[in-house]
Structure 1
């Protein structure tokens, strides 16, 4: 959960900017996008396998030189 306290003499724009950074850092936007629609467990596994395969191929390319 993101908590934000206004600092002394802090403008609203600065507070909003700090709030956006805190939300981004906490991963809330990513989580909201992920939960926007239901994802079947099989689709989640498929997505995870693709991500792992892509990561492995990238690591292989880096290892080769």
Structure 2
């Protein structure tokens, strides 16, 4: 869990900037976007199969 503790005389803008940096480093937003909707196992395998077909075609 990402936390930002405000220091004395620290503005909310700098704390927000630190929070955003920590969130992006932790990869939280990427994870949220990935889990935004349920993906069936077949849907998970589909891009891999398409990539395999593409590589086979160009060999």
TM, length-normalised to structure 1? 0.65
The structure with the larger Rg is 2
The structure that is helix-richer by fraction is 1
Count of paired positions: 52
Structure 1, unpaired ranges of 5+: 58-65
Residue segments in structure 2 that go unaligned for 5+ positions in a row: none
Normalising by the residue count of structure 2, what TM-score does the alignment of the two structures yield?
A: 0.70
- Larger relative contact order (CA 8 Å, sep ≥ 6): 1
Distance in 2 between residues matched to 1:45 and 1:19, nearest whole Å: 35
Structure 2 equivalent of residue 60 of structure 1: none
| Superposition RMSD in Å | 2.1
